[in-house]
Structure 1
Amino acid sequence: MKLWDFNLRHLRAIALIAEFGSMSRAAQGVNLTQPAITQALARTEAILGTTLFERRHDGMVPTPAADLLVPRIVAALEHIGSHRVTMARLRALLALADAGSYQGASLETGLSIPSLHRAIKDLSVSLRRPLAVRRSNAVFLTDGGMIVARGFRLARIELEAGLAELEALRGNEVRRIVIGAMPLSRARVLPAAVARFLQRHPLVRIAIAEGSRAELVEPLRNGTLDLMVGALRQPLLEGDLEQQALFADEPVIVARAGHPLCAKALGRAGDLAELARYAWVMPGPGAPLRDMWVAMFEEAGMDPPPVRVESGSVMTIRQLLIASDFLTLLSRDQIAVELQADWLAVVDDLPARFRREIGVTTRASWRPTSVQAEFLADLRAVAAGE
């Protein structure tokens, strides 16, 4: 079954049937006759290949399939936000947003360019706002168009999750989890949680997108990612996101094995004047590790030394350290192999107050599927050492 085979008005009707337990009341809610809503339900059940309601003398009773699908329909409709949106219009705007042109959207969907133009125009009229503008030979979404497209993406994610849950109910596992992984999460916790989860669910597909928070946060907000694992932000600036802490990490000052500072007893807080004599490689401004590094010097009344290289890649940092006298801050988990191989060395610990919370970031509106909820539980268990 394909998402685009469904009719949004019919899906609204199904949500109302579940809410009211009555075909007649649901028909009034979507302005359809009772025979029309009966046909809408029958058509949707035919596409799904399953029964959504049991017809009883006292009303319509949802089946287990409806219990899985209806909450997803309700969430999707909330993201869409208007009864004037049809599935064709939703599909057209998403295709245009993804492709950046009507020609690209046509190639992606197989729909004709005139039909896409008409769908976008009708959607703009029904929502009473311009959604796309043409500049030279390119098409751009307006600010309002981008907001609408984000809501449509999240609606699509909800509906696709509901359909995947129904397939799993029939024994056909098509569910997937898409994870954004920041550098620290890739060292220990995330791989261990994935391995633990797949022992129970070998057919669930897992995709891991690696990057910095700046690279991952918009895909998370748009629904491309289900969750993001890494250093948390305090305060969290995005009002549509939520954070859950997993564990606290205390970074250490790291250099190559044999670095001149390795032979010195710097003490717990370190001799910052000695540390400032060397070049540093650090993540860019705004990263928690960079903020921590700046605070370490500023609390001692010193200006931080220049950062000669900005990078959040542990692989890049490792190679720079091995080949030079650069210093950096990293978690022991991130360089466990390098420490064991005697390629890198810990120059000094930081005071306990310099620690960062590592955890999971999700959309505030996110409703995890059953397997996504299980994966979150595995993340928490691994982080707790269970």
Structure 2
Amino acid sequence: MQRGIRTLVGAALTSITAAAMALSSGAAAAEPEIPATPEGLARYIESGLVPAADGRTPTFVVDTGSGSGSSSTRSFATDTRGSGPEMSSFLAAFAHGLTQPDAAPPGANDWSCRPTAERPRPVVLVHGTWLNAYDSFAYLSPQLARAGFCVFTTNFGRLGMLEGGGIGQIMPGRHGVGPMEESAKQLGTLVDRVLAATGAEQVDVIAHSQGGPVTSQYLKFEGGRGKVGKVIGFGATNHGTSLMGIATLGRTITNLGVNIMGFYRPLLGTANIQQAVGSHFYQVLNADGDTVPGVSYTSVGTRHDQISNPYEWTFLQAGPEATVENITLQQGCEQDFSDHLTILYSPRSLSIALRALDPAAHPDLVCSFNPWMLGGGGKL
């Protein structure tokens, strides 16, 4: 049994490392003339496809997810079960998340936790696409709890591959794939539970990747206004992404013979399509600006982000009665090589989060080496 689990984990690590390398090289090689739109991505993928065995060349039907998110098949969220170990490496956390995909990150979901006068707002953690609560926050969550915060999270946007969840669903625990409108409603359900259980008036949110626009959708359209004090985003796709790395991976998978002929959404998943810059989702989401009144925003991007790119698109512009601090992770700390996945395993990111949550108690930012695709100073 243990040998089988080790084999599964080893294969998974090999797969994700290869995928990440493909994503990174694809992003780096992207030409500026490639349109960063769903249609442009489809044409970009098609331009390098080889004919199938019967002589036909696959074509992609672009579905931008322009509806309300209320499709015939709905995504859903689930509670975590049990708690996994603290991790300093993303790859190690990812491996554990494959074998225990519903585990909570350590320190999270203690429903007996009560906020204090010094830290009156619980912290809600929102994971990204193809990730889960554990492998996203196994490093951040326990340190937030030790700093005195009540921490809560869930696995949102769950959807099967055949229902529109995309090819990432072949591996356990790959969530955050359903329509982001539905995921925002699921976030709202969690926030209401946290407020009711803790007696707090507001929560603070730490969001990664897709968690950024999901949080904005919640604040703007799903009843979140007034319930959130601070939003801290890491690699958040606040204005979409060119997705060129994922497009390169998609072309590679197609040429390897995966039968996705005639489809685009089943390859990437609904949420990924919505995150393409220029999609209908972002046209609606940001029509009246990036922020909502009364919220303090911190948005952190990394120059080595191979998925949310250009990384500057994660930054926000403050609207009325909102504040924004945009931070490039490498500014003042060039030795931090965090990519899109390991940004949550960076000691500098942790210090940024703590300073944003409680600047009086955590005024200083730290700087340490954080390797690409490993994280946590390279510790496994």
- TM-score of the pair, normalised by structure 1: 0.24
> Looking at both structures, which has the greater relative contact order when contacts are Cα pairs under 8 Å and sequence separation is at least 6?
2
- The structure carrying a bigger helix percent of its residues is 1
Computing the radius of gyration from Cα coordinates, the structure with the larger value is 1
TM-score of the two chains, using structure 2 as the length reference: 0.24
